[in-house]
């Protein structure tokens, strides 16, 4: 199919983009990398009258340290994150997650901000930003605000972005000492999306006890979520192999698990536990644990 006719706008600044978004309201759609919106338009699942292309906004493509944290512009591509020496050193979970996204062509064009704003329940970035306790910057004509990642994903394809807001940046903490990150996933064979994906940041105290753990899960529910029951089962405990396995069994506690052609809800729940254990084991090893 062919998309319905639309007017095409290419703002040169974020301020100009914000003005267009406010002007067109529900009749406008923002285009970043285009991997989600363009197919939806071709299938006429989305039919905006105005398309606002942000791809020329160089001010939204960057990776830099800012105030003791790392800030990433929303239009930074998956490949730039995958290949960033700063991130490999200071926040290795992000390059590891980027490597798991799609294929080379997707990673060269797709953007982190576009993926997060789309809020696909099987997307990779949501799990990572949840595990990192990231903050997401929303900008509009009225100003800006930072939204905790925990509050950002509302439902399938729905976020906390208000009408008129543009996702402009993501802010994440650097990897603390005695800490490790990991992202593991089972790929859907055609699209590369996550049937289940799990991101972990795990920290140890001087005695080797888990003093910080955050687990982001994607692919398992109607939106990405924090596996808080699994975190609680491990936090403050010695990370033995048995305890990692036991805590992982709580990965989807309280979640209505997805069922589709690729995995039933029962199988997907089991996968979530297995991949949570694997991510915890990998993060523990990287943190210097046994």
Residues 155 and 234 occupy one common structural domain:
no
The pLDDT value recorded for residue 190 is 85
Instruction: With respect to residue 124, please indicate whether it lies within any of the assigned structural domains.
Output: yes
Mean residue pLDDT of the chain comes to 96
Three-state SS at 233: helix
The count of other CB atoms within 10 Å of the CB of residue 202 is: 31
The CATH number assigned to the domain holding 108 equals 3.30.465.10
- Predicted confidence at residue 290, as pLDDT, reads 63
Angle between helices 265-286 and 241-248 (to 10 degrees): 140
pLDDT at 289 exceeding the cut of 80: no
How many CB atoms lie under 10 A from the CB of residue 255? 18
| Candidate from 43-47, 79-83, 158-162 with smallest mean pLDDT | 43-47
Contacts by residues 250-253 (CB-CB < 8 Å, ≥ 24 positions apart): 251/198, 251/215, 251/217, 251/220, 251/227, 251/276, 252/217, 252/220, 252/221, 252/227, 253/227, 253/229
Q: What is the distance of C-alpha 154 from the center of its chain?
A: 13
pLDDT tens, 222-268? 999 999 999 999 999 999 999 999 999 999 999 999 999 999 999 99
Whole-angstrom Cα distance, residue 102 to residue 58? Answer: 24
Which residue among 133, 150, 173 closes a domain? 173
Q: How many domains does the chain have?
A: 3
pLDDT in tens, 77-132: 999 999 999 999 999 999 999 999 998 999 999 999 999 999 999 999 999 999 99
Burial call 37-73: b when 16+ CB within 10 Å, e when fewer: beebbeeeebebebbbbbeebeebbebeeeeeebbbb
Residue 267, number of CB atoms within 10 A of its CB: 14
Q: What is the mean pLDDT of residues 16-24?
A: 97
pLDDT band for position 33 (cuts 50, 70, 90): confident
> 21: domain range?
7-53
Residue 233 lies in a domain: yes
For residue 16, give the CATH number of its domain.
3.30.43.10
Instruction: Verify that 143 and 79 share a domain, yes or no.
Output: yes
Q: Report the distance separating Cα 258 and Cα 256, nearest Å.
A: 7
DSSP 248: H
pLDDT in tens, 190-218: 888 999 999 999 999 999 999 999 999 99
Greater model confidence, 36 or 74: 74
| 124 phi, psi to nearest 5 deg | -85, -45
C-alpha pair distances (Å), 194 with each of 157, 205, 211: 15, 32, 29
pTM value is 0.96
Place of tokens 């955050």: 214
| pLDDT value of position 2 | 85
């Amino acid at each position: 199919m062919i998309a319905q006719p639309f007017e095409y706008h290419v703002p040169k600044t974020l301020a100009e983009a914000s003005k267009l978004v406010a002007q067109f309201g529900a009749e406008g759609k923002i285009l970043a990398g285009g991997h989600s919106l363009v197919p939806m338009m071709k299938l006429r699942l989305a039919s905006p009258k105005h398309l606002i292309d942000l791809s020329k906004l160089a001010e939204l493509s960057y990776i830099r340290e800012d105030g003791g944290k790392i800030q990433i512009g929303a239009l930074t591509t998956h490949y730039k994150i995958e290949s960033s020496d700063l991130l490999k050193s200071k926040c290795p979970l992000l390059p590891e997650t980027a490597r798991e996204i799609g294929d080379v062509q997707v990673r060269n064009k797709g953007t982190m901000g576009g993926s997060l704003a789309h809020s696909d329940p099987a997307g990779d970035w949501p799990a990572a930003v949840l595990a990192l306790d990231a903050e997401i910057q929303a900008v509009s004509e009225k100003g800006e605000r930072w939204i905790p990642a925990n509050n950002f994903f509302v439902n399938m394809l729905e976020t906390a972005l208000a009408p008129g807001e543009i996702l402009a940046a993501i802010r994440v903490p650097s990897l603390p000492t005695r800490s490790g990150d990991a992202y593991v996933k089972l790929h859907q064979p055609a699209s590369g999306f996550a049937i289940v994906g799990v991101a972990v940041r795990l920290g140890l105290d001087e005695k080797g006890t888990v003093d910080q753990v955050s687990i982001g899960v994607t692919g398992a529910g109607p939106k990405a979520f924090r596996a808080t029951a699994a975190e609680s089962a491990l936090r403050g405990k010695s990370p033995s192999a048995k305890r990692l396995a036991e805590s992982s069994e709580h990965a989807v506690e309280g979640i209505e698990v997805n069922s589709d052609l690729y995995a039933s809800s029962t199988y997907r729940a089991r996968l979530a536990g297995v991949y949570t254990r694997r991510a915890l084991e990998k993060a523990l090893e990287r943190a210097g644990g046994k």
